[in-house]
């Protein structure tokens, strides 16, 4: 079993006739999926998604893949294949196309419609190539075949990429629901045909590799939703991903059965459901969907709201409702349904929202107390079945945290993939497929790129560390005026604290210590302002640590007069 280690250096030049696969996101994390294929000097990208920030990344809106590895070769990219329309697979496309808007996008009808709507907000009109399952397209030197897979959004595709170096199959996100709502099954016969041809490398969705057995059917949720509707006396508010068309369809069906009107809340939800309806993926009974402004004219027992925020995102509609920062006010007797799973890392944010909603009197229904969600990813039983069909010569688990990647690797080995043909990589690790063997050859830069408002890439890990310190420990500002000729104090020191839990008057004992330290440094000839700032920071920091066991940020201001 191959795996990366810290000593990996830059990869060598790609050998003639070899194919290089480099994930720039999606390995060791849930999100930010992006994989770069290189052959003969040309590039094909599969997916380009975002990762949503966690608590230790305050102020960050989105996290992008690092485009550094391909930035000076954007003209070599023959296309971006998008496997499906979830944000963790398409969300970073606008940021890449800002750098080169001429890169073609390849995907299914719904996927392209969702990304085109997103790009319109960025004023980018992309070149698109719509494909369907069963079709093959030549994209530069890459012969791509598209295969139907079942997921929690319609029109998901896997892709088989053929080059003279061999065939690589990327599943995208998939499961093997045998009773899908839209009747579109994961195309196992085609995967079996690809196995007969010879699947040289399989990049497989590992998200649920630790979950035993088989994922329940999507349609099993309908009974739980109907039960919620049958027992709700007031408004029903359903939070879901803005692209989860299947789940929204089930909510619409239940609302129709119980004679309720539905309003979509949130810009992305309104946009995506409008697209899905226009393209025929979402079937809405006539006059059922109303504008949110019409809700005041309807009795509460006839209202359903469908909104974003199932992951506790701070600016999403549901979080704002929980915080009483939204036009829709949660009241006693409302029923809120979180129709999604918890993405790892979002648990605290979601439970904060649940507590906030409960505080205002809402009954909150979620996966922990009702069957209102099933996963969109294949579990261990399905993966075993899938590996036995595909018979990959080399296996590389993707789409998952480390524990998921390891679990998928073990399943592959159990089905007969040789241990030395299983590659566990991480973001930035280059894997070369040459003469039927996949092996790790080096590592490139693939760190986090933070989006903060209109800023892209300006926020660094050091910036986030400062934000965390400010948020957890507060800061102390120290103003000192010194004589530029002799370094003697002529003003201050004035000390103020914010967010540190220390009263400004409490600093009186340290003022004398600071004056003494500054006088001593002046006598020693230390007059340079930067050195004086360091002395102020050390003196105040040590005193606070000794007396309060806190480490706030110290902001010294030294003015020469």
Domain end: 325, 340, 365, which one?
A: 365
Residues 331 and 392 in one domain: no
Residue with tokens 């957890």: 472
Residue 462 contacts by C-beta under 8 Å, 6 or more apart in sequence?
A: none
Q: Are the C-beta atoms of residues 328 and 339 closer than 8 Å to each other?
A: no
Of 366, 377, 404, 432, the active-site residue reads 377
Catalytic residue status for 205? yes
Name the DSSP class of 272.
Answer: H
Q: Which parts are annotated binding residues?
A: 59, 61, 84, 86, 88-89, 151, 173, 242-244, 373-377, 399, 452
Q: Is residue 520 part of a domain?
A: yes
Whole-number pLDDT of residue 458:
58
Q: Is residue 51 part of a domain?
A: yes
Buried b / exposed e over 252-281, threshold 16 CB at 10 Å, is: bbbbbebebbbbbbbebbbbbbebbbeeeb
CA distance 132 to 342: 31
Q: Which parts are annotated binding residues for Ca(2+)?
A: 59, 61, 452
Q: Is residue 370 part of a domain?
A: no
Q: Is residue 438 part of a domain?
A: yes
CA distance 338 to 240: 7
Residues 411 and 311 in one domain: no
Phi, psi (5° rounding) for residue 445?
-65, 130
Residue 402's domain is classified under what CATH number?
A: 3.60.15.10
Residues 467 and 435 in one domain: no
Whole-number pLDDT of residue 351:
79
Domain end: 334, 365, 396, which one?
A: 365
Q: Is residue 40 part of a domain?
A: yes
Torsion region of 442: left, alpha or beta (phi above 0 gives left; psi -120 to 50 gives alpha): left
Residues 44 and 184 in one domain: yes
Beta strands in 259-375 (DSSP E): 261-265, 303-307, 335-338, 363-365
Name the DSSP class of 423.
Answer: B
Q: Which parts are annotated binding residues for Zn(2+)?
A: 84, 86, 88-89, 151, 173, 399
Q: Regarding beta strands 395-398 and 303-307, do their DSSP bridges make them parallel or antiparallel, or are they unpaired?
A: unpaired
Residues 401 and 548 in one domain: no
Catalytic residue status for 256? no
Q: Domain residues for 67?
A: 19-213+376-453
Q: Is residue 2 part of a domain?
A: no
Q: Is residue 7 part of a domain?
A: no
Whole-number pLDDT of residue 499:
67
CA distance 485 to 53: 49
Overall number of domains in the chain: 3
Whole-number pLDDT of residue 393:
97
pTM, entire model = 0.82
Find the length of the chain. 561
Whole-number pLDDT of residue 466:
59
CA distance 402 to 425: 9
Q: Which parts are annotated binding residues for substrate?
A: 242-244, 373-377
Q: Are the C-beta atoms of residues 158 and 173 closer than 8 Å to each other?
A: no
Domain end: 433, 453, 473, which one?
A: 453
Whole-number pLDDT of residue 523:
67
Residues 91 and 24 in one domain: yes
Residues 445 and 465 in one domain: no
- Ordered per-residue pLDDT tens for the chain, 561 residues: 655 556 788 999 999 999 999 999 999 888 899 999 999 999 999 999 998 776 666 566 678 899 999 999 999 999 999 999 999 999 999 999 999 999 999 999 999 999 999 898 889 999 999 999 999 999 999 999 999 999 989 999 999 999 999 999 999 999 999 999 889 999 999 999 999 999 999 999 999 999 999 998 988 888 888 988 998 989 998 888 888 888 899 999 999 999 999 999 888 888 999 999 999 999 988 788 888 888 888 888 999 999 887 665 666 778 888 888 788 888 898 898 887 766 656 667 777 888 888 888 889 888 777 777 788 899 999 999 999 999 999 999 999 999 999 999 999 999 999 999 999 999 999 999 999 999 999 999 988 887 766 557 556 666 666 556 555 667 777 777 776 666 566 666 777 777 666 776 777 777 777 777 776 776 666 666 777 777 777 877 777 777 777 777 777 777 776
Residue 524's domain is classified under what CATH number?
A: 3.10.20.580
CA distance 506 to 191: 71
Please write down the HEC assignment for all residues of 239-259: ECCCCCHHHHHHHHHHHHHCC
Q: Is residue 62 part of a domain?
A: yes
Residues 120 and 75 in one domain: yes
Residue 246's domain is classified under what CATH number?
A: 3.40.50.10710
Residues 203 and 227 in one domain: no
Name the DSSP class of 384.
Answer: H
Of 155, 187, 205, 334, the active-site residue reads 205
Residues 355 and 271 in one domain: yes
Residues 208 and 89 in one domain: yes
Residues 250 and 186 in one domain: no
């Amino acid at each position: 079993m191959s795996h990366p280690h810290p000593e990996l250096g830059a990869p060598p030049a790609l050998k003639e006739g070899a194919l290089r696969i480099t994930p720039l996101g999606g390995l060791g994390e849930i999100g930010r999926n992006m994989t770069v294929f290189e052959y003969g000097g040309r590039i094909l990208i599969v997916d380009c998604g975002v990762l949503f920030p966690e608590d230790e990344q305050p102020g960050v809106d989105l996290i992008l893949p690092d485009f550094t590895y391909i930035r000076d070769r954007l003209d070599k990219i023959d296309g971006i294949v998008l496997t499906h329309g979830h944000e963790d697979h398409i969300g970073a496309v606008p940021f890449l196309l800002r750098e080169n808007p001429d890169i073609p996008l390849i995907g299914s009808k719904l996927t392209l419609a969702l990304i085109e709507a997103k790009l319109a907000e960025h004023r980018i009109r992309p070149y698109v190539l719509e494909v369907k399952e069963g079709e093959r397209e030549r994209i530069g030197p890459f012969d791509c075949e598209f295969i139907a897979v079942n997921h929690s959004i319609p029109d998901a595709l896997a892709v088989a990429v053929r080059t003279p170096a061999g065939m690589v199959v990327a599943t995208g996100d998939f499961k093997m629901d045998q009773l899908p709502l839209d009747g579109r099954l994961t195309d196992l016969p085609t995967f079996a045909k690809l196995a007969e041809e010879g699947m040289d490398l399989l990049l497989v969705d590992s998200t649920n590799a630790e979950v035993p057995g088989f994922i329940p059917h999507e349609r099993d949720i309908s009974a739980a939703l109907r039960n919620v509707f049958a027992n709700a006396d007031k408004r029903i508010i359903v939070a879901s991903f803005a692209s989860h068309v299947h789940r929204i369809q089930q909510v619409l069906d239940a609302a129709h059965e119980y004679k309720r009107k539905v309003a979509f809340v949130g810009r992305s939800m309104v946009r995506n459901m409008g697209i899905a309806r226009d393209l025929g993926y979402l079937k809405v009974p006539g006059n059922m969907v109303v504008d949110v402004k019409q809700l005041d004219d309807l009795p509460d027992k006839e209202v359903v709201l469908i909104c974003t925020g199932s992951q506790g995102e701070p600016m999403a509609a549901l979080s704002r409702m929980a915080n009483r920062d939204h036009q829709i006010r949660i009241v006693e007797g409302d029923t809120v349904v979180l129709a999604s799973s918890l993405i790892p890392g979002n648990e605290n944010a979601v439970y904060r929202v649940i507590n906030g909603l409960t505080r205002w009197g809402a009954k909150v229904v979620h996966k922990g107390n009702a069957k209102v969600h099933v996963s969109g990813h294949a579990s261990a039983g399905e993966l075993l079945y899938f590996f036995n069909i595909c018979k990959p010569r080399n296996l590389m688990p993707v789409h998952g945290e480390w524990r998921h990647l390891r679990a998928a690797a073990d399943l592959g080995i159990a089905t007969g993939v040789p241990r030395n043909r299983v590659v566990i990589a991480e973001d930035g690790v280059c894997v070369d497929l040459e003469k039927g063997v996949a092996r790790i050859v080096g590592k490139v830069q693939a760190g986090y790129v933070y989006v903060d408002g209109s800023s892209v890439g300006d926020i660094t890990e050091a910036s986030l560390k400062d934000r965390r310190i400010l948020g957890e420990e507060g800061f102390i500002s120290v103003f000192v005026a010194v004589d530029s000729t002799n370094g003697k104090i002529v003003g201050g020191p004035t000390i103020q604290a914010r967010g540190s839990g220390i009263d400004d008057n409490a600093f009186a004992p340290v003022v004398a210590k600071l004056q003494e330290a500054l006088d001593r440094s002046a006598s020693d000839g230390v007059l340079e302002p930067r050195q004086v700032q360091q002395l102020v920071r050390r003196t105040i920091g040590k005193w606070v640590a000794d007396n309060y066991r806190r480490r706030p940020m110290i902001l010294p201001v030294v003015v020469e007069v």
